[in-house]
Amino acid sequence: MKLAQLLIDAYNSRDVGAFVELATPDFEWSTSMGAVEGEIFRGREGIETYFANLRNAWENLTLVPDEFRDLGDRVLWLGRIEGRGRDSGAAVSSPMGVVADMRDGKTWRIRSYLDHDQALGASGH
C-alpha cells in the first residue's frame, strides 16, 4: 500500500520522473478522468503524455484517498478527485476508485473509475 501512496504523491505533485520510477516498463494506465476519459497510456511515453495532457486540461487536479485495501498483488483505493478546469474554471469533485496492479515492487497497471462500486468490481472484491 506504500507504493500506492507514493504513486498518489507523485501524481499530485506532477513528478513525472518519480511516477515513472514506480512503474514497470510495460505499464498500462486506463483513465476515467484527468486528461481524456477512457484513454489508455502505456510505458514511460504514455505517462509523459498523460501528464502533459493533464497540465493542458486542468488548472489543478488532485487525488484524495480515503481508504486503501491491500489485495495481495493489487491495491484498491477509494477516495475522490478534486480540481478545476483550465479553460472553463469549472470546479470538479467526484468519487474516484483506483485499482493498481503490482509486480516486482512496481505498478504495472492502473485502472481508475469515477464510481466506487465499479472499482470494487474491477478489484474482484
pLDDT bracket for residue 4 (50, 70, 90)? very high
Q: Quote the DSSP letter at residue 116.
A: H
Please write the tens of the pLDDT for every residue from 11-66: 999 999 999 999 999 999 998 754 455 688 999 999 999 999 889 989 999 999 99
**Amino acid type, 84:** R
Rounded to an integer, what distance in angstroms lies between the CA atom of residue 76 and that of residue 69? 5
- Locate the domains of the chain by residue range: 2-123
Tell me which architecture the domain covering 2-123 has in CATH. Answer: Roll (3.10)
Counting DSSP H helices and E strands in the chain, the numbers are 4, 6
Q: What is residue 1's predicted lDDT score, i.e. its pLDDT?
A: 73
Mean residue pLDDT across the chain: 92
Name 96's bridge partners.
Answer: 79
Whole-model pTM? 0.89
Other Cβ atoms less than 10 A from the Cβ of 56: the count is 10
Q: What is residue 20's predicted lDDT score, i.e. its pLDDT?
A: 97
Q: End-to-end CA distance of the chain: give it in Å, rounded.
A: 16
Using DSSP bridges, classify how beta strands 106-113 and 58-70 pair: parallel, antiparallel or unpaired: unpaired
Q: What is residue 37's predicted lDDT score, i.e. its pLDDT?
A: 57
Strand order in the sheet with 91-103: 40-42, 23-30, 106-113, 91-103, 74-85, 58-70
Residue 23's contacts (CB-CB under 8 Å, 6 or more residues apart) are 44, 47, 106, 107, 108
- In this prediction, residues 93-109 reach a mean pLDDT of 96
**Amino acid type, 52:** A
